[in-house]
């Protein structure tokens, strides 16, 4: 028996990974207690995803466990031990705004939960590669210090700048405002690296920006494109928060991200980090996303503006995926922002 253990298995990334690795012949043990419904209400509820996963994947085993609960997690690791061939840790509290008012819960989920899984991997499943879904928010607001200029529909940097192709792993994590969410993910990111560099586990951090796809239960506080499309189609309105709506978002489809997992699994490295995202192929400003939805869906969207931006929010962020591409040249990116939005529109109709 070959097991892939996936936390956050009913979330966007986790559910995509469940389907992919099931088709590859693995048995998948998924851990998810639908905390999103508690965080974000009805919009964040992923019980519909859980139902579909169980129905469509006969080799999927669901565990309703909180990753903060070490003893319950240990039961799973004890049962499967070396049969676990891969761990994908995508469970998290993912919202800036939510974390600010509940920092202890945010830290315990994002930091302690990750530490629990790393320690159990080391104890019971040492040879299994450990994939951690990190975030570009570990860089805090350092991207906002770049020489950004205002264009008609977006903020942008010069083509001559070293980061024009995207931000790579050389950007500093220090001297910046992270948000409480960014801080808890920073700890998790660093401890994942240390279990690789100190203990020899095959660990990797994928620092993603905006991840999206049809399985995303997008909510106002999390899930940029999914919530934007859903709100635009259902309410014919959208609230733009800060930066004149010209802030640039890097968007990667969950399918393309899962292909990254597959490539890493076949040739894992120790204590590695990769900035991963849509890059120059798939990015947009909030305004550009709304314009695209209006054009594709043939609707008019009412836009309301709030001048005050979210703390730690990026004005401009595009990912340089060059390092990952050099290490794994077989990875091919399929989706652009336009094809992502087209799929979301068709999914919500």
Mean pLDDT over each residue of the chain, to the nearest integer: 93
Q: What are the pLDDT digits (tens) for 31-44?
A: 999 987 777 777 77
- Count of domains in the chain? 1
pLDDT at 95: 77
Query: Between 217 and 349, where is the model more confident?
Result: 349
pLDDT of 155 over the 70 cut: yes
pLDDT of 209 over the 60 cut: yes
The pTM (predicted TM-score) of the whole model is 0.93
Domain extent at residue 285: 3-348
pLDDT at 222: 57
Query: Between 199 and 309, where is the model more confident?
Result: 199
Q: Give the whole-angstrom CA distance, residue 103 versus residue 77.
A: 28
pLDDT at 72: 98
pLDDT of 178 over the 80 cut: yes
* Percent of all residues in the chain with a pLDDT value above 70, rounded to a whole number: 97
pLDDT at 36: 79
Confidence of residue 223 (pLDDT cuts 50, 70, 90): low
pLDDT at 94: 78
Query: CA 158, 161, 165, 167: dihedral to nearest 10 degrees?
Result: -120
* Percent of all residues in the chain with a pLDDT value above 90, rounded to a whole number: 84
pLDDT of 231 over the 80 cut: yes
pLDDT at 44: 76
Q: Among 173, 35, 33, 180, which residue's Cα sits nearest to residue 106?
A: 180
Confidence of residue 114 (pLDDT cuts 50, 70, 90): very high
Confidence of residue 187 (pLDDT cuts 50, 70, 90): very high
Mean pLDDT of 127-151: 96
pLDDT at 255: 96
pLDDT of 280 over the 60 cut: yes
Q: What are the pLDDT digits (tens) for 98-113?
A: 788 899 999 999 999 9
94: domain CATH number is 3.40.50.720
pLDDT at 216: 63
Q: What are the pLDDT digits (tens) for 49-93?
A: 999 999 999 999 999 999 999 999 999 999 999 999 999 999 998
pLDDT of 245 over the 80 cut: yes
pLDDT at 218: 56
């Amino acid at each position: 028996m070959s097991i892939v253990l996936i936390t956050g298995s009913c979330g966007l990334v986790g559910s995509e990974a469940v389907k992919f690795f099931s088709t590859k012949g693995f048995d998948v043990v998924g851990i998810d207690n639908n905390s999103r419904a508690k965080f974000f209400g009805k919009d964040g509820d992923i019980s519909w995803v859980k139902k579909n996963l169980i129905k469509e994947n006969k080799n999927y085993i669901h565990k309703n466990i909180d990753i903060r609960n070490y003893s319950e997690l240990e039961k799973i690791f004890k049962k499967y031990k070396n049969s676990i061939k891969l761990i994908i840790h995508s469970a998290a509290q993912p919202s800036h705004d939510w974390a600010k008012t509940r920092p202890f819960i945010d830290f315990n989920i994002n930091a302690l939960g990750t530490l629990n899984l790393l320690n159990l991997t080391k104890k019971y499943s040492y040879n299994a590669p450990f994939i951690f879904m990190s975030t570009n928010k570990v860089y805090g607001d350092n991207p906002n210090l770049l020489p950004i200029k205002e264009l008609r529909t977006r903020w942008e940097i010069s083509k001559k700048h070293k980061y024009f192709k995207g931000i790579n792993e050389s950007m500093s994590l220090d001297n910046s405002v992270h948000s409480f969410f960014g801080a808890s993910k920073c700890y998790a990111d660093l401890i994942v690296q240390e279990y690789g560099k100190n203990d020899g586990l095959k660990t990797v951090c994928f620092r993603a920006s905006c991840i999206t796809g049809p399985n995303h239960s997008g909510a106002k506080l999390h899930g940029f494109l999914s919530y934007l499309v859903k709100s635009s189609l259902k309410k014919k309105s959208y609230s733009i928060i800060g930066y004149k709506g010209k802030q640039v978002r890097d968007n990667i489809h969950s399918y393309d991200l899962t292909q990254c997992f597959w490539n890493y699994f076949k040739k894992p490295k120790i204590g590695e980090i990769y900035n991963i995202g849509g890059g120059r192929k798939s990015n947009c400003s909030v305004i550009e996303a709304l314009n695209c939805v209006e054009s594709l869906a043939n609707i008019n969207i009412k836009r309301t503006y709030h001048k005050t931006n979210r703390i730690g929010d990026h004005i401009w962020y595009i990912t340089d995926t060059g390092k990952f591409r050099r290490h794994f040249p077989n990875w091919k990116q399929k989706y652009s922002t336009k094809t992502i939005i087209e799929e979301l529109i068709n999914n919500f109709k």
